[in-house]
Structure 1
């Protein structure tokens, strides 16, 4: 890869990260990569809620933005209210910080350009950049498919095709093949309007460019659609977690004991269950999950976040008869080092909420998946896994179906075929990341583009 450090050009990058785990992680990974090029200084502007650990990133400057929100807000208030609140509260502090940087640059003989890179949930950054005459680049941490799917919803509303009738939910949306009406992100008007603002940034301050944590071959049709309809270059630089080694960015403490447990299991014998950092599940669903795992008679590693099952502190919802059964076949932890778990030879399947980071992490390790999506792009990602990439099974959370799906994944011939598909994709990803590959070329183009601004 070209080294730009000796070119003499310098740029001050201000990265605005969202406080959500699945958004903070790729932003810190992107910052680590760009800093390694030797021509960028990195400032991470972040809300005080879920702030990153500066000690893990000693080369970055960190700028907290007072937000007056807390973890209870994201659970108790609506997600949209949460997003609006922290955007409103962070904006004046971010603007003041940027004005300070601009004034400092005026006094320097060797001036550096200032470029804003912001997460798509932090839409206030685009309007501040526009007001101050600074270029802004948007990092979209969802799958590329989310944006065409989301932007078509008003048209479907006008034509009376959305929300879809129950009889039509399984039908493919003709303009969005291979996605079905049931895969579309939202069916709530107020949510759509706010998210349209988030998704498209503000009308008066379109981004100079967009960065997607994806790969060209994985989302070819969605990326073609985006390039046909939206201005500005598109950089596909994923998967970021494979680009450059970074310290753990987890907000939760990872239980490393699960690795030593995995070391004692047979190859490809364990199903790893984790529904991400945000999902909350009711007792009935959690109990069906538990019985399905128990009845499958397969080994499992189950991540249950404290407080993630409604009404319970941790695993008190488990029926007494299951606890003893679980000890023979499984391990339950509060949080796990997911990338290490998925790379472990003992893991034969990944039961996931299909958030984009988790999807990429599973795909990169060639691990077939059970898909239990909840919101946003997760239904689209589950459709990719099951229908397009053919390395996943969509599940309904009912104990009999779960038992069958786990056996299909770990034991049956179907699971072997899915593993073969997953490993084919894994090899293509390695090519994209190697010298001359699509992601590697896109990274080089991104660095050159920023330095030209």
Structure 2
């Protein structure tokens, strides 16, 4: 969203970036200072360059100390019911301050409220999809999955699906978690169905630390908050990292692991044992870390942003997906593009397997093979973003379409 905002501002648009107060507070807390008082460092720099970007926050309806992970169902129920009215207030206030302007709203595709608000205020509604096109097509054709008995999937074993437009043959095991097991997290199904009905930050000390390490010697480890709250998984990862004997940077957010922070989930004395071999930080500039020559692999939960950034910088991946689009993203990385490996083949992660897979990616013949393959994919990604590349052409076409829609609204 930040990158899109600055890109649009560079094309002459005025941008108001709206962040929830909770996320605003969480990032500030992770950095131990008032990071966002300057409206994001990147926005400050953008404004210095003459770009018109504003920043504001909005309440999600809960106090800052409310546990949104533990009370996920209540949180999303309230977001569905009450959050649109709060957005409506922000939109109305923004439009009042800029009476002569024509407006558009950009929100994640899985948000269910933008279309209604856009219609109310005669705005152009832009839906931003942040996962692979494969995941979009699967979601868009849930009716086909229902017709063929694959949503919810009630069969035994593994089936292969080859009837979804734009999607190659895919196993039911590689479908998004909320399709495979909709009853485990029903709110995820609700978010997806509602969404498709509508059809940076301060630097930690990792950079300097990375400069002191040999090329390709450091593993970058970063999972989402759900994974970090799994104490057994975190303990196995910790022991596996120790056994692998590689250097590593590990992102662990203290605010999601308990009152005592990382001490609640790491083995006793872990930080003393790793000394200069490993670095644990609450946050880092992921692009900057992945761009370091010291990074040789990325242990990831397979979020789409992480995958794209890893490909961009040519870093092979060790994949351990959790939910939503992550299982499908893993399939693309490991099975289709062959630029990563699975962390484990079974249901449970063991420290022995963690150490083994780390060494596969960081050393030896398989490591060299993965680096060769990801170099090919990375070159394609770079080409698409170059002058005249497909990404640049598509973005310019989007800007032209957006301007045309805005002109229609003014008539």
For the aligned pair, the TM-score class normalised by the smaller chain equals 0.7 to 0.9
Structure 1 residue aligned with 2:375, among 411, 419, 423?
A: 423
Structure 2 residue aligned with 1:414, among 358, 366, 387?
A: 366
Counterparts of residues 11-410 of structure 1 (less than 5 Å): 27-38=1-12, 40-51=13-24, 54=39, 56=41, 57=43, 58=47, 59-69=52-62, 70=64, 72-78=66-72, 80-100=73-93, 111-164=100-153, 168-169=157-158, 171-175=159-163, 176-185=167-176, 186=178, 187-188=181-182, 190-191=186-187, 193-202=189-198, 206=199, 248-249=200-201, 254-255=203-204, 257-276=205-224, 279-309=227-257, 313-320=261-268, 322-327=270-275, 329-396=277-344, 397-410=349-362
Q: Using the alignment, how far apart are the partners of 1:104 and 1:285 within structure 2?
A: 50
Q: What's the secondary structure of 2:170's corresponding residue?
A: coil
Change (3 A) 1:37 1:272: same
Gaps of 5+ in 2: 25-35, 406-411
Match of 2:28 in 1: none
Deviates more, 1:84-93 or 1:361-370: 84-93
TM-score normalised to structure 1 length: 0.75
Change (3 A) 1:145 1:92: same
Kept in 2: contact 1:283–1:310 (CA 8 A): no
Q: CA deviation at 1:85?
A: 2.0
Q: What's the secondary structure of 1:382's corresponding residue?
A: helix
Gaps of 5+ in 1: 1-26, 207-247
Q: Using the alignment, how far apart are the partners of 2:277 and 2:211 within structure 1?
A: 14
Q: CA deviation at 1:327?
A: 1.9
Q: What's the secondary structure of 2:335's corresponding residue?
A: helix
Match of 1:434 in 2: 386
Kept in 1: contact 2:111–2:191 (CA 8 A): no
Q: CA deviation at 1:154?
A: 4.9
Q: What's the secondary structure of 2:311's corresponding residue?
A: helix
Match of 1:3 in 2: none
Per-residue deviation, residues 188-230 of structure 1 (Å, max 9, x unmatched)? 254355223443143xxx4xxxxxxxxxxxxxxxxxxxxxxxx
Kept in 2: contact 1:83–1:121 (CA 8 A): no
The aligned length equals 372
Q: CA deviation at 1:437?
A: 0.4
Kept in 2: contact 1:172–1:180 (CA 8 A): yes
Q: Using the alignment, how far apart are the partners of 1:55 and 1:407 within structure 2?
A: 37
Kept in 2: contact 1:298–1:329 (CA 8 A): yes
Q: CA deviation at 1:94?
A: 3.0
Structure 2 residue aligned with 1:450, among 379, 402, 406?
A: 402
Match of 2:27 in 1: none
Per-residue deviation, residues 308-332 of structure 1 (Å, max 9, x unmatched)? 4468521343333654432253222
Change (3 A) 1:345 1:258: same
Q: What's the secondary structure of 1:188's corresponding residue?
A: coil
Q: Using the alignment, how far apart are the partners of 1:140 and 1:283 within structure 2?
A: 32
Q: What's the secondary structure of 1:436's corresponding residue?
A: coil
Change (3 A) 1:263 1:105: closer
Match of 1:245 in 2: none
CA RMSD of superposed structures (Å): 2.6
Per-residue deviation, residues 148-207 of structure 1 (Å, max 9, x unmatched)? 2234445434543444468524x43233434321222202254355223443143xxx4x
Change (3 A) 1:319 1:90: closer
Change (3 A) 1:160 1:166: closer
TM-score normalised to structure 2 length: 0.82
